[in-house]
């Protein structure tokens, strides 16, 4: 795929971040999410791809969400057919409360490269490049922590495990504490938490737990671009979620299957882009800097080369047509 698509994807995540940032702390998570979706959809119009959303936020009758099966991009003849996985606002509760680590994210790959995961939960283990090849979802929490610690050359007491703050993860908390690990809890924002494992400056050694399935696929694309590792299993927590899997063609054997990172994101023709919305561990949030201008920070990755770029941009909000139009729509001029 054309390497210039990387910057095009950043423009799309920037649009979603700029618009949704206007809702920070206003308690309106649905308004923020809807605005981010519309901004992303508008920004995609100028990207020269034949894109189809395989990981989205809803079904076709749940507009304005970017629904599974929706066509995005210019759709011009001769342009590449690609899978698109999007989360225009990863962390709706975070933006509503003005909390850290809300981001706008996109993963993209050649057609057929991204797993069409059902909108259910997914069990995950994620590590950075130094621990690639040592994780195994079939092993216990204790075995995985010890194996990763050996790969990193650390004692378990020097390990930091990222775990979502949910009761369903008590089994992880108990084992990690018994081994003396540090635990960094997060409330929301699966994607940002997952990719933190691949940046040494975050201090995060691994992520374990049960989180969103669609977010798992988006995260897998980023982890693969960075040379990290991930294993997952579709993990419905209710009969309703299991039925949703069946409706998408998943058999019970598919649900129980251990998924490697190559099952989640095939090949190396992958791109990942994210823009910070609120201040985070990895990316700074949108900051208004006066003169009706705003600064954004983004990261963009390319699987084929393993290149990771951080993009800092200053936006003139008076000339941003998408922002102007949507602020009028939401009465936030």
Rounded distance, CA 62 to CA 269, Å? 30
The reply to whether 93 sits in an annotated binding site is no
Q: Do residues 236 and 252 make contact, with C-beta atoms less than 8 angstroms apart?
A: no
**Cis preceding-peptide flag for 64 (omega within 30 of 0):** yes
Q: According to the annotation, is 90 in a ligand binding site?
A: yes
Q: Is 205 annotated as a binding residue?
A: no
57 is in an annotated binding site: yes
The answer to the question of whether 215 is labelled as a binding residue is yes
Q: Cβ of 328: how many Cβ atoms within 10 Å?
A: 10
| Closest alpha carbon to 104 in 39, 7, 26, 180 | 39
> Within its chain, how far is the Cα of 225 from the centroid?
13
Contact 89, 20 (CB under 8 A): yes
Residues 6+ apart with CB under 8 A from 285: 21, 24, 100, 102, 276, 277, 278, 279, 297
Annotated binding site for Mn(2+): 33, 57, 87, 90, 215
Which parts are annotated binding residues? Answer: 33, 57, 87, 90, 215
């Amino acid at each position: 795929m054309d390497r210039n698509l990387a910057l095009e994807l950043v423009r799309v995540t920037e649009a979603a971040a700029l618009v949704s940032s206007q809702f920070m702390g206003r308690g309106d998570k649905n308004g923020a999410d809807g605005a981010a979706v519309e901004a992303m959809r508008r920004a995609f119009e100028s990207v020269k791809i034949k894109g189809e959303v395989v990981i989205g936020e809803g079904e076709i009758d749940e507009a304005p969400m970017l629904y599974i099966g929706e066509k995005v991009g210019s759709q011009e003849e001769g342009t590449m057919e690609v899978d698109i996985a999007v989360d225009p606002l990863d962390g709706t509760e975070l933006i509503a409360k003005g909390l850290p680590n809300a981001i706008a994210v996109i993963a993209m790959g050649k057609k057929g490269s991204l797993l069409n995961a059902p909108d259910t939960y997914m069990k995950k283990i994620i590590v950075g490049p130094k621990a690639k090849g040592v994780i195994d979802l079939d092993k216990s929490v204790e075995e995985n922590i010890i194996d990763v610690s050996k790969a990193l050359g650390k004692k378990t007491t020097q390990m930091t495990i990222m775990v979502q703050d949910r009761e369903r993860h008590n089994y992880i908390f108990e084992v990690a504490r018994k081994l003396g690990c540090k635990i960094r809890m997060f409330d929301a924002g699966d994607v940002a938490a997952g990719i933190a494992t691949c940046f040494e400056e975050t201090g995060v050694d691994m992520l374990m737990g049960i989180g969103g399935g669609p977010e798992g696929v988006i995260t897998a694309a980023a982890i693969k671009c960075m040379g990290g590792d991930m294993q997952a299993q579709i993990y419905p927590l209710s009969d309703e979620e299991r039925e949703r899997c069946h409706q998408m063609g998943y058999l019970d054997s598919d649900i129980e299957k251990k998924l490697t990172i190559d099952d989640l994101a095939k090949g190396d023709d992958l791109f990942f882009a994210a823009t910070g919305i609120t201040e985070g561990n990895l990316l700074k949030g949108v900051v208004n800097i006066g003169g009706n201008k705003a600064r954004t920070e983004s990261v963009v990755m390319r699987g084929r080369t393993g290149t990771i770029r951080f993009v800092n941009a200053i936006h003139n909000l008076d000339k941003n047509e998408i922002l102007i139009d949507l602020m009028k729509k939401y009465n936030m001029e």
